[in-house]
Amino acid sequence: MADDAATQVDFQMIARGVMPVRKPVLAGIRLEDATRAIHASAEIAIHAEPEGEQARRIRVKEI
């Protein structure tokens, strides 16, 4: 990979409706920290979306 190549990470997180807002925010921070440990200069976008009909149509791997 060229030195000027950018690494972009776009992650969508589906939060259950009963989940307090703080929980997905903290999970996003941990995810960003872990990603930066691997790719320090990556452009990272993390989106926390509430669970709903539209969100259920997205294939999600729960971890």
> pLDDT tens-digit profile of 7-58?
889 988 888 878 888 898 999 999 999 999 999 999 999 988 888 755 556 6
Only one residue has tokens 């990603």, namely 35
Taking the model in full, what pTM does it have?
Answer: 0.65
pLDDT bucket at 1, cuts 50 / 70 / 90: very low
